[in-house]
A and B are shown apart, each in its own frame.
Chain A
Amino acid sequence: MRRLNAILALVVVVCALAVIQAQHRSRTYFVELERLNKEAHALDEQWGQLKLEQGTWANPARVDTLARTRLGLVAPPPDRVRIEALPDAP
């Protein structure tokens, strides 16, 4: 009987320590989760901004102007265009 009591007391102590440990881990993980969530959010925002930036660079008006002025491109006149029909074109 005495031995059983001693064992049970030991078990209780171990359980108590385990609870503390679990609680601590939960807190740490929660902090980690929060941090990662924040990071994901920041990355999301960055992605949106990059997309916006890409959209601004790829704006047809800008591409058009650059192609004509900086690169000196012109639309080919129709007599310089040859159209090849695909063999099984509808």
Chain B
Amino acid sequence: MNYHSRKLLKLNLAPWRMAALGSLLLAGFTVVAGRALYLQGLNTDYLQGKGDAVANRNLTLPAQRGQVADRHGQLLAISTPVESLWARPTELRISSAQRAHLARVLDVSPLELEKKLARRTRGEFSVQRPVTPEQAAKVTAMGVPGLHLRREFRRYYPAGEVAAHVVGFTNVDDLGQEGVERAYQDWLAGRDGRRQVQRDRRGNTIRDLVPIKTAQVGGNLALSLDLNIQYLAHRELAAAIATHKAKGGSVVVLDAKTGEILALANQPIFNPNNRRDYQPGPMRNRAVIDTFEPGSTIKPFVAAAVLERGLFHPESVIETPETFRVGTKLVRDVHPHPLMTVSEIIQKSSNVGAVKMAMSLTPQQFWEVLHRSGFGEKPGSGFPGETAGRLRDAGTWKPVEHATMAYGYGLSVSLLQLSRAYMAFANDGEVMPLSFLRRESQEIVGERVFSPRVAREVRAMMETVTQEGGTGLRTRVPGYRVAGKTGTAHKLVDGRYAPDRYLSSFIGMAPASNPRLIIGVVIDEPSGGVYYGGSVAGPVFAQVMAASLRQLALPPDAPETATRMTQNTKLPVTRAGGGA
């Protein structure tokens, strides 16, 4: 078809109009092309960045901290998500009315809030962490620019103060501060994950831009603690502290066969769920961190040392006058008997007898036995702040010190350390490594401290302590044979031994025929008139031991005593209501 032939379409225009229109169009296109080139080519990075900033999001996937449970899976520490309120100073626009309202919602004084919000930091700061779900809803409803909620994990301790000293606690940033929480921080802490996503206009996630780095949940821990025994220990200790008006105290329960710490309670206590009243005193795990002079509880080691060297045997008779002079020091017995066997020296806790036995050893020999038993060295439980106690080198001992060491002055130990050392008597001479974590029995290798014969002989001596004529009558447990040693030590106050301040202790084991449990009790400054270890710490031992043996369902090794004791002596009465 020939368009030119059509009349209607025949162009009848002036050529300048064509040129003008053409150049106008060309100019328009040039502008558009230039703009396109500018946007697409020259300025692309900037614009792409802007676009990504709107659509792409970097997300942190918070990792949950691992749980801590006791040996039966009872929960001791768990993290759950909570909301917390954060502010960004650069965007914060808050009217004074809103401020007052916010103060009411958060339940803080307006002045305090004012001070908090006035902070000029780069980035963000937390206003309150955590806030309750109701508070969170109210704050969201207010819609203040610059204030936002953030999800965080908060640690809770369902067992509360009962296991507080062992479990410890974390700070607001989820870092372990004390106890197991601190010792196993690396294991418990998770690793935060990272995600880069693209979002649509409505905020839905459309796709992942890079492969997700998933959050690594922290590892869980199964402690060696038995929450039931732990609670009993806590309750009985609290009751004893109250009756004897003592300053403090500790109880340690060890499994003699495995070295596991089944319970560890201290007084005073603190509540790990309440971070407001921070006080360093009650938070201290005294049984592990504090040291004391062991007093008479050291005597079984003296006996073991002389038996091992063959210097005495359990029935050797030793002259024990009421007083005995070593250098300038006059050693005195509270209940003197002119003649005692080695066994009776332990039973009646004779200082003179113990000194005479210790003096038959050279300082080096004596030191070696104490050192081998673990004194002066960390007990190796892995607990943060664990103390090694103090045992001076034998070369520096004066004769007086050599003598006082025999009844437990001049060296210091922690309760955990002392209880661990008693494992040698319970376990036929072998000490198992301590553990705060549950362990399988086959993986343990013990350390030999005494020969099986010596360990059994000393154990038999310690059994007489709880029998007629011994110092630990109130430590008896119906149905079981109990072996142990009482201790009553004067406290060192400003470099002098205070005549009226004592540390009462008892370390014992049961069933004595084949000990499974070792319980150490120490009560600091009982001031209710009674202070002998057998009368103050002894009953706590008996209560906790009886309950723990029942808990573990161990068969009684002296079933006949159960009935005899009910008839003759007053039974240890179970306290109603328990202590708090």
- Measured CB to CB, the residues of A under 8 A from B are 27, 30-31, 34, 45, 48-49, 51-52, 54-56, 58-61, 64-65, 68-69, 74-75, 77-79, 81, 83, 85, 89
Contacts and interface: CB of A to CB of B under 8 A. Distances in A.
A79 B563 contact: yes
Contact of A30 (B79, B158, B207, B231): B207
CB-CB nearest 8 A-B residue pairs:
A55-B158, A60-B231, A55-B75, A78-B478, A79-B566, A78-B562, A75-B574, A56-B158
17 contacts: A27-B206, A31-B205, A45-B80, A52-B78, A55-B78, A55-B158, A56-B158, A58-B74, A60-B159, A60-B228, A61-B162, A61-B231, A64-B578, A68-B577, A78-B478, A83-B556, A89-B555
A48 B217 CA distance: 13
B555 A79 contact: no
A27 B199 CA distance: 12
Interface of B: 64, 74-76, 78-81, 156, 158-160, 162, 204-207, 227-228, 230-231, 235, 478-479, 555-556, 559, 562-563, 565-566, 571, 574, 576-578, 580
A77 B75 contact: no
A78 B156 CA distance: 38
Contacts of B75: 51-52, 54-55
A83 B479 contact: yes
Contacts of B81: 45
A83 B563 CA distance: 12
A30 B204 CA distance: 10
Contacts of B227: 60
Contacts of A69: 577
A78 B159 contact: no
Nearest to B232: A60
Given A55-B75, A56-B158, A58-B74, A85 B80 contact: no
* Chain A interface helix/strand/loop/mixed: helix
A79 B78 contact: no
Contacts of B76: 55
A56 B577 CA distance: 19
Contact of A51 (B78, B207, B565): B78
Nearest to B79: A48
Given A27-B206, A30-B205, 15 more contacts: A30-B206, A48-B80, A51-B75, A51-B78, A59-B159, A59-B160, A60-B228, A61-B580, A69-B577, A74-B576, A75-B574, A78-B565, A78-B566, A83-B556, A83-B559
Contacts, number: 80
Contacts of A55: 74-76, 78, 158-159
A59 B574 contact: no
Given A30-B206, A52-B158, A83-B559, A78 B479 contact: yes
A88 to B, nearest CB: 13
A89 B80 CA distance: 45
A68 B574 CA distance: 11
A29 to B, nearest CB: 11
A40 to B, nearest CB: 13
A61 to B, nearest CB: 6
A45 B577 CA distance: 35
B12 to A, nearest CB: 43
Given A34-B205, A78-B566, A85 B78 contact: no
A86 to B, nearest CB: 9
A65 B577 contact: yes
Contacts of B205: 30-31, 34
A9 to B, nearest CB: 29
Contacts of A65: 577-578
B555 A68 contact: no
A50 to B, nearest CB: 10
B478 A68 contact: no
A45 B82 CA distance: 10
Nearest to B580: A61
B162 A83 contact: no
B80 A79 contact: no
Nearest to B227: A60
Contacts of A34: 204-205
Contacts of B577: 65, 68-69
A67 to B, nearest CB: 10
A78 B571 contact: yes
B78 A48 contact: yes
B162 to A, nearest CB: 6
Nearest to A46: B80
A79 B562 contact: yes
Contact of B578 (A31, A52, A61, A81): A61
A34 B198 CA distance: 13
A59 to B, nearest CB: 6
A13 B479 CA distance: 91
A30 B205 CA distance: 8
A69 B159 CA distance: 20
Contacts of A56: 158
Nearest to B69: A55
Contacts of A81: 562
B567 to A, nearest CB: 8
Contacts of A49: 80
A74 B573 CA distance: 11
A30 B479 CA distance: 67
Contacts of B79: 48
B162 A60 contact: yes
A59 B235 CA distance: 13
B60 to A, nearest CB: 14
B563 A52 contact: no
Contacts of A89: 555
Nearest to B547: A75
A73 to B, nearest CB: 10
Interface centre among B79, B205, B227 (most CB of A within 10 A): B205
Nearest to A50: B80
Contacts of A48: 64, 78-80
